[in-house]
Structure 1
Amino acid sequence: MRSLIDISELTTGEIEELIGVANDIIANPEKYSEKCRSKKLATLFFEPSTRTRLSFEAAMLELGGSVLGFSEAQSSSASKGESVADTAKVISCYADIIAMRHPKEGAPLVAARNASIPVINAGDGGHCHPTQTLADLLTIYREKGGFDNLTVGFCGDLKFGRTVHSLISALIRYKNVRFVLISPNELKLPGYVKDKLDKEGIEYTETDSLENSIADLDILYMTRVQKERFFNEE
């Protein structure tokens, strides 16, 4: 079993296989109720979370496993100066897999390089959020039947919205996908993500008007303003 730090680490075939398994779990939950029996998930959340942390914990329990961990950095040895690398090494002795959220970009990658068990990135700063992307792809698949020939609108904080960055990275690998990027000028999609779109020849437009764009969309992806990542609120 390997770590999952960025959605780009999965091939389209692997993504579609995971979607198939997810659909089977939805249809036949009892078939999977003991799949993780005697396995332990460590949820290492250095940043506040409700939905992501509880989703991981609920999923592990539904699969017959158990959960340990912490929900804030202050309740861990990070508050005493322990590094992410050392935390990952220690937790490897207690659990079979780690789900980590951290405010610093790249922290889960550091953990994965030092842990002896797989690490799942549950969100790192404004960088990416691969498991949210898998959930989003499942929703799109169930609603649209696939990922080709879609016009997808992203609206809100596109600068710091890690779920946006991850979902774009996944969707650019499908045919005839087009993006409409809807945000105020201060919260536009980062240049490195637009460079990726340009490199892949993906069509996209930028606008600050949802009203003028919504009729052209197959999917609208809304994001909140990530105020906790602002360096300056002016």
Structure 2
Amino acid sequence: AKGESFEDTIRTVENYADVIVVRHPEEDSAVRAARVAEIPVINAGSGPWEHPTQALLDLHTIREAKGRIDGLNIALLGDLLYGRTVHSLAFALANYDVKLYLVSPPQLKMRRDVLEKVEGRLNYVETSDLKSILPELDVLYVTRVQKERFPRPEDYEAVKDAYRIDREMLRDAREDLIVMHPLPRVTEIATDVDETPHAWYFKQVRHGIYVRMALLALVLGAL
């Protein structure tokens, strides 16, 4: 706020706390904090790059709903370029035996550096056609097209309504398909989905409390 460096801020704040939780617009913020801090640092969102604690709660939600993660067909839908939650989830799912569909408009395809990191460890398919794969899915993870990430308004307008999940569309899905979303949503999931058994996005929020409590307990030595 007064011109001090990010590193100086971390070194100062760590004297007031036992854990530092960092959410910052720069992609390398959590790494930079961890390099200089002598207390645990938790990445709560590093620009458009990663959101690891969201990935943890997403894994917990999938396991809670399905009883397993291995063997599932999972689709990540929407903004795969700027969406940090899907980057972290892709990294996490590379540790499991899943088939991952990466569904997006061509302008919002998954970042190449993410795919390079999971190459050979993750069975994935890139497509823009949700309808053709929907009947195969166990998990549909929907993301918001993030207006704030686009340098030009016209680029956002071109893709903002690329996908919309509603009850009519879900007639083609498996009865036990779960629909997830890191929230907030805008128009990408219709409210008529909320009262169906498919809707798991608000349960994700509750699971996030449990997972983050456990993470804090873990880094503080209580577990």
TM-score by length of 1: 0.63
For structure 1, the residue ranges without an aligned partner over 5 or more in a row are 1-76
Offset of residue 93 of structure 1: 1.0
1:39-188 equivalences under 5 Å are: 77=1, 80-175=2-97, 177-188=98-109
Shift of 1:199: 2.8
Secondary structure of the 1:204 match is: strand
Alignment deviations for residues 145-185 of structure 1 (CA, whole Å, 9 cap, x no partner): 1211111100000001111010111111112x111111100
Task: Provide the secondary structure at the position in 2 that maps to 1:199.
Answer: coil
1:214 paired to 2:134: yes
Aligned length: 154
Distance 2:31 2:115 in 1: 23
Gaps of at least 5 residues in structure 2 are 156-223
Shift of 1:112: 1.3
Q: Which residue does 1:193 correspond to in 2?
A: 114
Partners of 1:94 and 1:197 in 2: how far apart? 38
1:30-76 CA distances to partner (integer Å, 9 max, x unpaired)? Answer: xxxxxxxxxxxxxxxxxxxxxxxxxxxxxxxxxxxxxxxxxxxxxxx
Identical counterparts, % of pairs: 49
Q: Which runs of 4+ in 1 moved over 3 A?
A: none
Give the alignment's TM-score, normalised by structure 2: 0.66
User: Aligned partners of 2:152 and 2:123: how far apart in 1?
Assistant: 31
Structure 1 residues 119 and 142, CA gap change in structure 2 (3 angstroms): same
Deviation of the 1:232 alpha carbon = 3.3
Q: Could you tell me how far 1:97 is from its partner in structure 2?
A: 0.6
Can you list the C-alpha shifts for 1:177-204, whole angstroms capped at 9, x where unaligned? Answer: 111111100000011122233332x322
Work out the CA distance in 2 between the residues paired with 1:118 and 1:124.
Answer: 16
Supply the distance in 1 between the matched residues of 2:46 and 2:117 (Cα, whole angstroms): 20
Task: Report the Cα distance in structure 1 between the residues aligned to 2:114 and 2:30, rounded to whole angstroms.
Answer: 20
User: How much has 1:108 moved relative to structure 2?
Assistant: 1.3
Q: Give the Å deviation of 1:127.
A: 0.9
